[in-house]
Amino acid sequence: MTFELQHTDPYSSARAGIITTDHGQIKTPIFMPVGTCGSVKGVHFSELREQVKAQIILGNTYHLYLRPGLDTLRKAGGLHKFNTWDRPILTDSGGFQVFSLTGIRKLREEGCEFRSHIDGSKHIFTPENVMDTERIIGADIMMALDECPPGESDYQYAKNSLGLTQRWLDRCIKRFNETEPLYGHRQTLFPIVQGCKYKDLRQDAAKHVVDRLGMLNDGGGASIGGLAVGEPTEVMYEMIEVVNEILPKDRPRYLMGVGTPQNILEAIERGVDMFDCVMPTRNGRNAMLFTYQGTMNLRNKKWEQDFSPIDPDGCDIDRLHTKAYLHHLFKAQELLALQIASIHNLAFYLRLVTDARQHIEQGDFTQWKRSVINDLGRRI
């Protein structure tokens, strides 16, 4: 993987670049649809390509490890061949999912023991076997195993957690450097910056990641984890600024699991390049649509006889169907409603970051962001 920084905004830390992988290029800033189990809920890959215009999607190590399982994925030739997505894929380490299994997991230096949410069977994730698992999945970009502490963690817990994450990172890098990709395309590893809401811990974490990036055999970028997990929004923005002052400018920066359209623009302004979140599809399945004018609840009666397009400036599906028709589908509990709304929201998120990139290139990102950000959070 390579990263070329192409443009920077003169009034902020916003930047535009290109990530190059063996499965294609990714223009940043970028939003990555979440394909937890090897698919993006309710959206076919042809729609991801043609309507959403996704350049990269995510897979989840925890879920793919449990189902369909590593034997199936290896025999299929990796996730790209298994699900027929021929563009880049990023996999998280499964750490967030495992540490969310409160009551059915045990954390120790070796790794994390957990029980499957599917059948209760017992498993363990270690830095070494997570690297092996992500090799078998075959993602272009792999995440290191980390602990994601709760947003309300006290200082001592956050410090101990960060120490564990850093020791695990060293073991991840060692295993990554000792092993080779399985399917003929290169893979790269992103360490994760943790440290909760504590400035000194975040600084220490970022410096540790910078040091370790030089030890990787192939490329590498940096992920910012443990935000949008309960802390105030202002704290999240402060931690992004703290971390990005230290992370190298010639590597991509990935803010994990964030967020709303406003969150994304604020983070782009602070120098973040990559985003993912389940919000577009999850909210879409609940009839909540994002637009530049604000959010719409398509179950509301006000849309019952609104025969205007879902979004006249959106993707083809937005212009083809009316608000009244989508309202009807939700009221009738038709599955097509979930599909149309998910496509719309994902296409809007990709349009948002594409527009952000264009304004970074033009040198007026800050002015444009200020002109749209308030309306993005408005309820229509």
Residue with tokens 């970074």: 360
Specify whether the CB–CB gap between 309 and 364 falls below 8 A: no
Q: Would you call 276 a catalytic residue per the annotation?
A: yes
3 state DSSP class of 151: coil
In terms of Cα–Cα distance, which of 122, 230, 111, 105 is closest to 172?
A: 111
Q: Which of 9, 92, 140, 318 is catalytic?
A: 92
C-alpha–C-alpha distance, residues 125 and 256, integer Å: 20
Residue 92 annotated as part of some ligand binding site: yes
Specify whether the CB–CB gap between 350 and 261 falls below 8 A: no
Please give the helix or strand (H or E) that residue 3 lies within, else none: strand 2-8
Q: What is the 3-state secondary structure (H, E, C) of 289-347?
A: EEECCEEEECCCHHHCCCCCECCCCCCHHHHHCEHHHHHHHHHCCCHHHHHHHHHHHHH
Residue 146 annotated as part of some ligand binding site: yes
Residue 226 annotated as part of some ligand binding site: yes
Residue 93 annotated as part of some ligand binding site: yes
**Cα angle value 82/83/86 (rounded, 5°):** 100
Q: Return the sign of the alpha-carbon dihedral for residues 282, 283, 284, 290.
A: negative
C-alpha–C-alpha distance, residues 147 and 145, integer Å: 7
Q: Which of 9, 204, 273, 276 is catalytic?
A: 276
Provide the 10 A C-beta neighbour count for residue 140.
24
Q: Would you call 22 a catalytic residue per the annotation?
A: no
Known binding-site positions = 92-96, 146, 194, 226
Kindly list the catalytic residues: 92, 276
Known binding-site positions for substrate = 92-96, 146, 194, 226
